[in-house]
Structure 1
């Protein structure tokens, strides 16, 4: 038992004369003699509330130093998706099936809560036939000067 952090106190009949030991041999001898043994663990922390305060302060610093949250889809894009979907008489579920995404994804894009993904926007553009990226959002999608 070569643990630096623990102290074993061997007590004989007189509680005023306690002996401190750190070896296994002395502890085993005391057990054989039937002496009361008490083991105390010493802590290296002097003030636990101080350590707790440090953790709270560090956590606050981490929250304050967070980078800007990722941009969300613009509201105009969401309205364009909704208008294009309604022009084709599609529900959010129908559009999700066409672009092979979950209906929740379509809902998030329409409400402006989604983080833009160029692949998803491209699939929506092709399915709805309208522009959702760049300038002129909501205009008909054209390929080489021709409308699709």
Structure 2
């Protein structure tokens, strides 16, 4: 008398069809392409299946070379420009916040320009020139900004 208690169940083993023997049905696309000479062994991606940085190992080396090639840090605003901004702003009785609002920049940007910590941006300097009426670029920094040239 054979009962379910006598039968053996193996977990994790799947039943395979007879004759397959666990082998694939045919060559893969890579094997077929290699057989006809469409690709060589060197064409196969060597890092396939690895969890490596997408940018590749050269990214860090190139970034390091870029940092080494920097001869000097970017130039900061000259102290004369910061002083001219501060004097022009005080002449108009504007706070840094007021000037920032007029040129649509944060007050911190104005503070950085006045202290000489900012990297000069021609667009911001141009906006400040128009509001303050003082030259902040080129020669004669601090001089009154002339109106449109007349012919």
- TM-score bracket, normalised by the shorter chain, equals 0.5 to 0.7
Task: Compute the TM-score of the two structures, normalised by the length of structure 1.
Answer: 0.54
Q: What is the total number of aligned residue pairs between the two structures?
A: 89
> Alpha-carbon deviations, 1:12-42, whole Å to 9, x = none?
xxxxxxxxxxxxxxxxxxxxxxxxxxxxxxx
What TM-score comes out, normalization by structure 2 length?
0.53
What is aligned with 1:71? 75
Residue 82 to residue 64, structure 1, CA distance change in 2 (3 Å): same
Question: Which residue of 1 is the match for residue 50 of structure 2?
Answer: none
1:65 CA displacement: 4.1
What's 1:116 paired with?
A: 120
Q: Give the SS at the match of 1:143.
A: coil
SS of residue in 1 equivalent to 2:136: coil
The runs of 5 or more residues in structure 1 that have no matched partner are 1-57
Query: Per residue, is there more strand in 1 or in 2?
Result: 1
Cα RMSD over matched residues? Answer: 2.2
CA distance in 2, matches of 1:126, 1:61: 41
Q: Per the alignment, do residues 93 and 65 of structure 1 end up closer, same or farther by CA in structure 2, a change over 3 Å counting?
A: same
How far did residue 92 of structure 1 move?
0.3
Between structures 1 and 2, the one with greater helix share: 1
The within-5 A match list for 1:4-83 is 64-83=68-87
Q: CA deviation at 1:66?
A: 3.0
